């Protein structure tokens, strides 16, 4: 006799999805993406929709393919089993969902913003393009966009995130120069915007910020005849820009 499928019931006051280790991106998500946060040294699981991830990211499209690779095949089998047992994925405890462990989310700098903060926003944007941008100061927005560009590049979905940023008006509003601040903070913002502009294809950011960095470099060299030997956050990708950008500054 076939086993009856479970029907939806009201959620308990404290569900598994509400625990600190599971971040609910999609309430009826059918897969967990487990990622370690090196800042807090904790593992966080993000409850996501497999179809959304595959549609938005070429990385996940390949990783979660239900027929090509053993991991994707195993996940497909688990989801089919859950489909037979439940009539609503929203009532399935997170502990029963298939899990994928992702060891690398990109070359994020140490100690800037927690990986959880960046990855959560990244997944939220993929699942809901109308997600509101966090109400944070300009400097934090620029920093967050730079971090998002790194994660988006890692998971091969730069276009989708870039389109979201454009719709939010951030490409235009953050292009404007900020109020006078220290030279170091100006360089930091220009480097972060140049990295994001390069990866997201924001041509105006690349032109504006690269020109500003070249001028600042010439001025600093002419004043004291040397450059700072060390910059704060030297491990950050924007302090060693990819694609030949860093070398271009040294040659100017």
Span 67-120, pLDDT tens digits: 998 999 999 999 999 999 999 999 999 999 999 999 889 988 876 677 889 999
In this structure, what token pair is assigned to residue 173? 């509003």
pLDDT, tens only, 167-218: 999 999 998 767 667 888 888 899 999 999 999 999 999 999 988 888 776 6
Q: Which helix (H) or strand (E) element contains residue 210? A: helix 203-224
Q: Which helix (H) or strand (E) element contains residue 163? A: helix 158-167
- Would residue 249 count as lying in a domain? no
- Would residue 6 count as lying in a domain? no
- Would residue 51 count as lying in a domain? yes
What is the domain count for the chain? 1
In this structure, what token pair is assigned to residue 107? 């070359």
pLDDT, tens only, 222-231: 445 444 444 4
pLDDT, tens only, 45-55: 999 999 999 99
**Residues 252, 217 contacting (CB under 8 angstroms):** yes
- Would residue 28 count as lying in a domain? yes
Q: Which domain holds residue 76?
A: 20-103
- Would residue 43 count as lying in a domain? yes
CA atoms of 107 and 58, how far apart (whole Å): 18
């Amino acid at each position: 006799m076939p086993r009856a499928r479970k029907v939806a019931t009201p959620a308990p006051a404290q569900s598994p999805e509400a625990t600190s280790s599971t971040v609910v991106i999609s309430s009826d998500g059918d897969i967990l993406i487990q990622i370690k946060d090196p800042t807090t040294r904790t593992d966080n699981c993000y409850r996501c929709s497999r179809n959304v991830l595959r549609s938005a990211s070429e990385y996940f499209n390949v990783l979660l393919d239900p027929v090509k690779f053993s991991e994707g095949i195993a996940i497909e089998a688990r989801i089919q089993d859950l489909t037979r047992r439940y009539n609503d994925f929203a009532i399935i405890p997170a502990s029963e969902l298939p899990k994928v462990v992702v060891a690398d989310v990109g070359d994020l700098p140490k100690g800037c913003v927690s990986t959880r903060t960046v990855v959560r926003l990244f997944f939220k944007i993929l699942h809901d393009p109308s997600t509101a941008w966090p109400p944070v100061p300009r400097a934090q927005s620029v920093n967050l966009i730079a971090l998002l560009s790194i994660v988006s590049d890692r998971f091969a979905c730069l276009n989708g995130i870039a389109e979201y940023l454009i719709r939010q008006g951030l490409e235009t509003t953050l292009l404007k120069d900020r109020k006078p601040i220290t030279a170091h903070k100006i360089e930091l913002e220009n480097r972060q915007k140049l990295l994001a502009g390069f990866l997201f294809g924001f041509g105006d950011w690349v032109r504006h910020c690269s020109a500003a960095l070249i001028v600042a470099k010439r001025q600093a060299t002419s004043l004291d005849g040397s450059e700072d030997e060390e910059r704060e956050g030297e491990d950050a990708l924007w302090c060693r820009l990819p694609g030949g950008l860093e070398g271009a500054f040294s040659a100017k």
